[in-house]
Amino acid sequence: MSWCVKSLSLICQQIKNPQLTCVRNRYHAEKIAKGPLLRRYGYRDRILQSGTLPHVDGPRLPMPVYRPKNAWCEKRALFGQNDYIDILGNGDLHPTRIMYNVQSWLRGVKGNEYQILLRKRKIFSKGIVPIARPTKWRDLNKRISYLYRFLNEKTKTGMPSN
């Protein structure tokens, strides 16, 4: 009995709010009158303008913790000490002789790779390196030979001509 009442009420609703679906035009003139068909119109901005943020409970992106450098640690507080020792101290002591943080064969040395390697070979040939580190020694000599040929055959040597 209740299904009768239900179906009756549904029919009454449909009569009250009929759903209209236009499938096709009856006349060509009606189609033309409607105008050109508009498809894929408009733009939907995919940016959240409201609501909660996404991933607020999940794992956050990793950011390193900011650790400021101590500007007054001993190394930084006394940086540059004794650089003027030949002016304000004994005139015989040059600042290159107290560059203790630099390897001894590199104190006061400036040059390109070839010049540095030549100096390295000159100094290390007197020690144990050729015997104890044969591969490294061989690589050093190979590199020096290669650079000699490269710099003399493939690059300009001497002073510029103009």
Partner 1 sequence: MLVHWHHSYSTYQRGSTQVGATACKMAVVNRIYLFSRISITPKILLDPINRVCGGRRFDSTSVSSDGEVSNSSLSTTPIIRRTLACPPEYKRVQQAWVENLNTVEEQKLGLIDLHPDVFGAQPRIDIIHENVEWQTKYRKVRYDHTKTRAEVRGGGRKPWPQKGTGKARHGSIRSPLWRGGGIAHGPRSPQTYFYMLPFYTRVHGLISCLSIKLAQDDLHVVNSLEIPTDDPKYIEDLVENRNWGPSVLLVDEIDIMPRNITAATDSILHINLMPVYGLNVFSMLKHDTLVLTMAAVNRIEEKLLYQLNRPDFMDVTKKFMLNQNG
Interacting residue ranges for partner 1, rule: CB under 8 A: 68, 70-74, 77-97, 99, 101-103, 106, 108-111, 113, 116, 139, 142-143, 146
Tell the smallest beta-carbon distance from residue 94 to partner 1 (Å).
5
Q: Which amino acid is at 30?
A: E
Quote the tokens at residue 41.
């119109």
The CA distances from residue 101 to 16, 51, 66, 106, 109, in Å, are 95, 59, 29, 10, 14
Tell the smallest beta-carbon distance from residue 142 to partner 1 (Å).
6
Tell the smallest beta-carbon distance from residue 99 to partner 1 (Å).
6
Cβ closer to partner 1: 10 or 73? 73
Q: Could you tell me which residues come within 8 angstroms of residue 105 by beta carbon, excluding any fewer than 6 positions away?
A: 119, 120, 123, 124
Cβ closer to partner 1: 20 or 65? 65
Q: Could you tell me which residues come within 8 angstroms of residue 123 by beta carbon, excluding any fewer than 6 positions away?
A: 105
Tell the smallest beta-carbon distance from residue 145 to partner 1 (Å).
10
